């Protein structure tokens, strides 16, 4: 994480934690962000005592002892061992792993240090990771707060068809399922195994111990992240377990935009597979 990743309010709290002499002026904060963006150390993602001191120097020429800065750096920076935790997982999954740090950098979601540490401590077992590796599953971090399908569509409004979030609210009037702060292992490369089959037959192809059909929210989150961060476009579409008005909802790609479509359970769709996630215990 770099200072340029922080929101104005987060940067204000940072500055006030170091120097609480007066409220932060948003215009000054923006100027500080610009100053920090020019710092070579920060371009490599390093927050150092020197970098903070440079920021405070830009903050109206303030002078603060380095020992005062150290607790602030510890409060806003992910620990080194959190990042190191992903190295063996990255060796297995390579680019099929999407960490909260990547999501924060590309999407701008404000994970806290504690949330990132919680995710690093709750990675799937070695057995599940190997299962994901063998079947080319994506392993993606969930959002920092629970999100419904409509909220996921609104968050990724640039890659979903217009008004998709509002349509989700219409299709799912009851309390919808959410994605939250956990790992989601989602299979998007096995579409040919499931396509052209009725819904009940698709279900029979699931591994009884490891797999279940993704909810619309899980599918929307996983597909949107892989498209936004990895640039991967799905082909055809994916049914989900979420049903509305007698239909099973699916996510498909049309003119490079994702959209929600209705599918009939007893009908075969030659280009629509099944969104599958690895089972979890909650």
pLDDT in tens, the chain (282 residues): 344 445 555 555 555 554 543 444 555 445 554 555 454 444 444 444 455 555 555 544 455 454 544 444 444 444 444 556 788 898 999 999 999 888 887 887 878 778 888 898 899 988 889 988 998 999 999 999 999 999 999 999 999 999 999 989 888 877 678 899 999 999 988 778 899 999 999 999 998 888 999 999 999 999 999 999 998 888 889 999 998 877 899 999 888 899 999 999 999 999 999 999 997 644
Range of the domain at 10: 3-76
Total of domains in the chain:
2
pLDDT for position 69:
46
Q: Indicate the residue among 76, 107, 125 that finishes a domain.
A: 76
Q: Indicate the residue among 40, 55, 76 that finishes a domain.
A: 76
Sign of the CA dihedral 81, 78, 125, 97? negative
Q: Indicate the residue among 25, 56, 76 that finishes a domain.
A: 76
Indicate whether 226 and 203 sit together in one domain: yes
Indicate whether 174 and 198 sit together in one domain: yes
Q: Which residues contact 25 (CB under 8 A, 6 or more apart)?
A: none
Indicate whether 69 and 85 sit together in one domain: no
Task: Say if residues 230 and 186 touch (Cβ distance below 8 Å).
Answer: no
Indicate whether 38 and 68 sit together in one domain: yes
The two tokens of residue 184 are: 């989601």
Indicate whether 100 and 41 sit together in one domain: no
Alpha helix ranges (H) inside 46-148: 49-58, 66-76, 80-93, 100-106, 113-121, 126-134
Q: Is the pTM of this model over 0.75?
A: no
pLDDT for position 205:
93
Indicate whether 124 and 232 sit together in one domain: yes
pLDDT for position 268:
94
pLDDT for position 14:
58
The two tokens of residue 189 are: 């490369």
pLDDT for position 53:
55
Q: Which residues contact 162 (CB under 8 A, 6 or more apart)?
A: none
pLDDT for position 70:
47
Indicate whether 7 and 68 sit together in one domain: yes
Indicate whether 110 and 37 sit together in one domain: no
pLDDT for position 24:
46
Alpha helix ranges (H) inside 2-65: 8-18, 26-37, 40-43, 49-58
pLDDT for position 272:
92
Indicate whether 93 and 175 sit together in one domain: yes
Indicate whether 98 and 204 sit together in one domain: yes
């Amino acid at each position: 994480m770099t200072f340029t990743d922080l929101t104005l309010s987060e940067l204000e709290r940072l500055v006030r934690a170091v120097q609480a002499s007066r409220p932060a002026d948003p215009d000054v904060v923006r100027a500080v962000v610009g100053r920090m963006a020019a710092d070579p150390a920060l371009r490599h993602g390093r927050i150092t005592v020197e970098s903070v001191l440079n920021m405070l120097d830009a903050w109206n020429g303030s002078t603060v002892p380095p020992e005062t800065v150290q607790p602030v750096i510890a409060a806003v920076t992910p620990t080194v061992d959190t990042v190191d935790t992903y190295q063996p997982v990255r060796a297995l999954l390579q680019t099929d792993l999407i960490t909260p740090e990547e999501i924060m950098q590309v999407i701008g979601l404000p994970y806290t240090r504690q949330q990132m540490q919680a995710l690093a401590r709750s990675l799937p077992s070695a057995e599940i990771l190997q299962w994901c590796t063998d079947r080319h599953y994506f392993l993606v971090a969930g959002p920092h707060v629970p999100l419904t399908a409509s909220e996921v569509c609104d968050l990724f409004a640039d890659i979903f068809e217009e008004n998709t979030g509002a349509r989700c609210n219409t299709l799912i009037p009851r309390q919808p399922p959410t994605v939250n702060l956990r790992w989601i292992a989602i299979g998007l490369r096995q579409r040919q195994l499931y396509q052209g089959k009725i819904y009940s037959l698709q279900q029979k192809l699931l591994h009884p111990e490891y797999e279940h059909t993704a909810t619309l929210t899980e599918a929307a989150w996983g597909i949107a992240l892989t498209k936004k961060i990895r640039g991967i476009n799905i082909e055809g579409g994916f049914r989900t377990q979420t049903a509305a008005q007698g239909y099973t909802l699916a996510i498909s790609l049309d003119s490079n935009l994702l959209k929600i479509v209705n599918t009939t359970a007893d009908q075969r769709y030659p280009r629509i597979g099944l969104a599958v996630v690895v089972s979890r215990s909650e």
